[in-house]
């Protein structure tokens, strides 16, 4: 069998994919504090605080912008500039027959590779 997935710790895009994959698994499992630990590792402190505020207002998960866990996720490079790399995260919801999608724009700092912003795309 060939490579199913690969990545590099030097790639901000790969780190966004690593974060979303692990985060969604951890939220779906719902058994421990791993989602918070992943946030602490992959997100800037400022974004962590912004997400806490957003979550209190919206009663939903700020990383996923939802109350549920998506069925599937994809991360794609979008652009780079001003010291950031921008990726688009597409989350798939619903069923295979009737999927719906949420697209998020995720900004990562080039020098730290930390995710510094998550917004609807």
Q: At 43, list the tokens.
A: 């997100």
What 3-state DSSP class applies to 61? strand
Query: What is the model's pTM?
Result: 0.94
Q: Who's near 53: CB < 8 A, 6+ residues apart?
A: none
Helix (H) or strand (E) holding 37: helix 34-42
Query: pLDDT tens, position by position, for the chain (121 residues)?
Result: 565 678 888 899 999 999 999 999 999 999 899 999 999 999 999 999 999 999 999 999 999 999 999 999 999 999 999 999 999 999 999 998 999 999 999 999 999 999 999 999 9
Boundaries of every domain in the chain: 12-120
Q: Can you tell me the distance from the alpha carbon of 7 to that of 15, in angstroms, rounded to the nearest whole number? A: 8
């Amino acid at each position: 069998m060939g490579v199913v997935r690969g990545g590099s710790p030097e790639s901000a895009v790969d780190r966004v994919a690593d974060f979303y994959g692990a985060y969604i698994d951890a939220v779906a499992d719902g058994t421990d504090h791993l989602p918070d630990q992943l946030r602490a590792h992959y997100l800037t402190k400022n974004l962590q605080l912004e997400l806490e505020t957003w979550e209190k207002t919206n009663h939903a998960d700020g990383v996923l912008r939802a109350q549920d866990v998506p069925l599937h996720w994809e991360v794609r490079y979008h652009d780079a500039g001003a010291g950031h790399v921008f990726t688009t995260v597409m989350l798939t919801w619903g069923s295979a027959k009737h999927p719906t999608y949420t697209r998020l724009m995720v900004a990562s700092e080039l020098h730290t590779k930390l995710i510094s912003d998550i917004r609807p795309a």
